[in-house]
């Protein structure tokens, strides 16, 4: 994973820079305020209503920031690795798939 920015305890992947280019100025300021340094990021995650765990197996989370944006990050030891930036609608496309019961066989298949 190529790292764009690295400060003590906070690493930001280059994908975030690409996603930032697609945002308007207001959205860039909102994201920039969170990603300034580790202290700002930790302060932003202090409200548990803004953070959602998105993986049962890994320490992977989505941080809700204004304008429907989500910062996708992982906790690796004491470090925070910001992996991506996306809109909630995009994140929803990658969400859990519902299990449906197959006709006749009674077995479950992933839809």
Mean pLDDT on 77-105: 75
How many CA atoms, within 13 angstroms, populate the side-chain half-sphere of residue 102? 7
8 A C-beta contact, residue 81 and residue 74: yes
**pTM value?**
0.76
Q: Could you report the per-residue pLDDT of 45-84, keeping only the tens digit for each?
A: 999 999 999 888 889 999 999 778 999 999 988 899 999 9
- CA–CA distance, 78 with 75 (Å, rounded to integer): 7
Nearest C-alpha neighbor of 85 from the set 98, 99, 68: 68
Question: Which residue segments constitute the domains of the chain, with CATH numbers given?
Answer: 3-110 (3.30.2310.20)
41 phi and psi, to 5 degrees?
-65, -45
């Amino acid at each position: 994973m190529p790292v764009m920015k690295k400060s003590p305890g906070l690493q930001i992947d280059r994908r975030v820079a690409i996603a930032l280019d697609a945002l308007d100025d207001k959205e860039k300021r909102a994201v920039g305020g969170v990603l300034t340094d580790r202290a700002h990021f930790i302060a932003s995650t202090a409200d548990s209503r803004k953070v959602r765990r998105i993986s049962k197996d890994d320490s992977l989370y989505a941080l809700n920031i204004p304008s429907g944006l989500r910062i996708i990050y992982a906790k690796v030891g004491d470090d925070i690795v910001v992996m991506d930036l996306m809109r909630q609608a995009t994140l929803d496309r990658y969400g859990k798939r519902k299990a449906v019961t197959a006709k006749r066989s009674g077995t479950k298949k992933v839809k």
